[in-house]
Structure 1
């Protein structure tokens, strides 16, 4: 009598909020209801529409409208198609106590089991199963919603100008790749990014299967939680102060007036999440053949003088994108270097990370002007059979993998053809500079850039090194090949359309 166990379930859920959070819930409720004692579906969807698509917003209302988990299950609302959903009724009015109890489940009591149940409910018109096509659609829409949130509130997002390929197709490619492990468990090898919904609509997934997948897919777990908080504006701080996880890196010292990356939002999000946490905060462009010229000598100079962990990204003539992560600085060496934090990756049309297997230590190789050894950059495998190879000619490379994949990384053939032609190469230094002399040099570079007297990476290279670079390339790496002055902010850079 009078103990906590005698309290109604909703009141016990509400007690999970502290005083500040309760005030925040009341403010959210007041905003949705326009100061009234309840709100309906129309009020709710108007509130969440800057972030959520119409179908997901509708399903979220229906989840909040229903009983708390552990009570009677939600009614199984079945509709013919998503497009007919707007013709449904405005639903039962939602009062503060009911609303707060459901938010406590979402944001204070949420675990993988609860989140999986919400995920399935939002993705489907059923509360017990979901088709593969509907789940891909939902994951893709959630990625799109996450991009909306970041574009409005994340200064790191606003530091990028992504490839024009950033659209819902990019989100769908990543969604399909994230879900492929789940689809393999039910007997279907993969769901291609361009597969028609009709071809996969008969493949149904249960709540247990969705929960098993979500328990291993931490990237989407975090994105879904961020999107739900963002849609309901359940923030404990001002939106511009939020640190989003998974995060996008802040771009440093990249001249967007002269350069356009081949990366889109989904690719950067996926790749940055695979990096060590201390290297996810900042990226800086080190080399681009579109900006610096298609020259192995310049490429070699840029990556060795960066003196930081780097991501090397290649786009071949067929449009495939792939590359590798080097956790230590590159240096010319007739022997393999690197460590077990290295990995190879693919970024389209499928997204995959291939980590080290422990089979050997052939992680990183960079050499030039050797008579008896390969000249170029390689990662994994062995001489002449690299998991990833960029030849010193700088026009071609290869990705060779046997039946079991590259021995060092377990990766398959990354490119569409074993021997590929290079279209684009980008190299990004990742993480922050360590304190010391190099940091001071970097500050000098930034100061000179702001003054309009930009230095070049060539200024960091000793005369002896320049002589070596002259020998490496087919032409010469001459002093006139210097970076344009850095543009700290451009008109395009500052053009950010907020959904709020």
Structure 2
């Protein structure tokens, strides 16, 4: 179960979760809600960047519910990212799943404050013709194209080609990725419990960066 109540039905959560890669099915982590955090693209981006794979869920003002699974962490920049584990889905008024075609790799894109590239969030398709497009400014507007070559069997997800957002949520799935500091601390702890590995590193002329700044053990 998600660690915060989602606006979609439990049946939708179970259905979406069943299509995730098994390694991500055990945990949904609450990242962003337009109702809680406000209608701010900057706030949304700040809460989802580098948070691992995630699920985007949108309800438009016509009551259509749809979204997508982003298989890798969102990363601000000019390039598309993601893998063919990604998919789009429609949850209401009917449930449909659209897996990757491998025709192209336009799985996910996010950018903001640029002059030469579109500012917003995109899943599938091309700029101006995305499976899901969420505009950065003004936030709250989006579009869903009639066709999208990135996902198989795709049909427009919203009732109209352009839509207004009633609710938007993003959920991280699986365990939260470690920060660089946490990775370093984990590596150090592994060496502490494995003196052979520590000795091999020292023989190879490598030392741990944190070794010299540790407090001496108590006498």
TM above 0.5, yes or no, is yes
CA displacement at 1:261 relative to structure 2: 2.3
CA displacement at 1:262 relative to structure 2: 1.1
Let me know the Cα RMSD of the aligned residues. 1.6
- Looking at structure 2, the residues matched to 383 and 438 of structure 1 have their Cα atoms a distance apart, in angstroms, of 36
- Looking at structure 2, the residues matched to 348 and 439 of structure 1 have their Cα atoms a distance apart, in angstroms, of 40
Going from structure 1 to structure 2, the CA distance change for 1:434 and 1:367 (only over 3 Å counts) comes to closer
What do residues 131-165 of structure 1 show as CA deviations (whole Å, max 9, x unaligned)? xxxxxxxxxxxxxxxxxxxxxxxxxxxxxxxxxxx
Q: Which residue of 2 aligns with 1:426?
A: 169
5+ residue gaps, structure 2: 184-219
Residue 332 of structure 1 pairs with residue 76 of structure 2? yes
Residue 251 of structure 1 pairs with residue 2 of structure 2? yes
- Looking at structure 2, the residues matched to 414 and 408 of structure 1 have their Cα atoms a distance apart, in angstroms, of 14
Assess if the C-alpha contact under 8 Å between 1:433 and 1:439 holds in 2: no
User: TM-score by structure 2 length?
Assistant: 0.78
Q: Which residue of 2 aligns with 1:22?
A: none
User: TM-score by structure 1 length?
Assistant: 0.35
Name the one with the larger helix percent: 1
| Equivalent residue in structure 2 for 1:367, among 106, 111, 134 | 111
- Looking at structure 2, the residues matched to 346 and 264 of structure 1 have their Cα atoms a distance apart, in angstroms, of 13
CA displacement at 1:436 relative to structure 2: 6.7
Q: Which has the higher contact order (CA 8 A, sep 6+)?
A: 2
Runs of 4+ in 1 over 2 A off after TM superposition: 433-440
Q: Which residue of 2 aligns with 1:414?
A: 157
5+ residue gaps, structure 1: 1-249, 255-259, 441-500
Q: Which residue of 1 aligns with 2:13?
A: 268
Aligned residues: 181
Going from structure 1 to structure 2, the CA distance change for 1:438 and 1:316 (only over 3 Å counts) comes to farther
- Looking at structure 2, the residues matched to 328 and 292 of structure 1 have their Cα atoms a distance apart, in angstroms, of 23
Q: Which residue of 2 aligns with 1:467?
A: none
- Looking at structure 2, the residues matched to 348 and 438 of structure 1 have their Cα atoms a distance apart, in angstroms, of 42
- Looking at structure 2, the residues matched to 251 and 355 of structure 1 have their Cα atoms a distance apart, in angstroms, of 23
Task: Give the number of the structure whose alpha-carbon radius of gyration is greater.
Answer: 1
Q: Which residue of 2 aligns with 1:246?
A: none
Q: Which residue of 2 aligns with 1:228?
A: none
After TM superposition, list the pairs within 5 Å mapping 1:53-68 onto structure 2.
none
What do residues 31-89 of structure 1 show as CA deviations (whole Å, max 9, x unaligned)? xxxxxxxxxxxxxxxxxxxxxxxxxxxxxxxxxxxxxxxxxxxxxxxxxxxxxxxxxxx
- Looking at structure 1, the residues matched to 40 and 181 of structure 2 have their Cα atoms a distance apart, in angstroms, of 25
Going from structure 1 to structure 2, the CA distance change for 1:421 and 1:283 (only over 3 Å counts) comes to same
- Looking at structure 1, the residues matched to 179 and 63 of structure 2 have their Cα atoms a distance apart, in angstroms, of 40
Going from structure 1 to structure 2, the CA distance change for 1:364 and 1:435 (only over 3 Å counts) comes to closer
SS in 1 for 2:11: helix
Name the one with the larger strand percent: 2
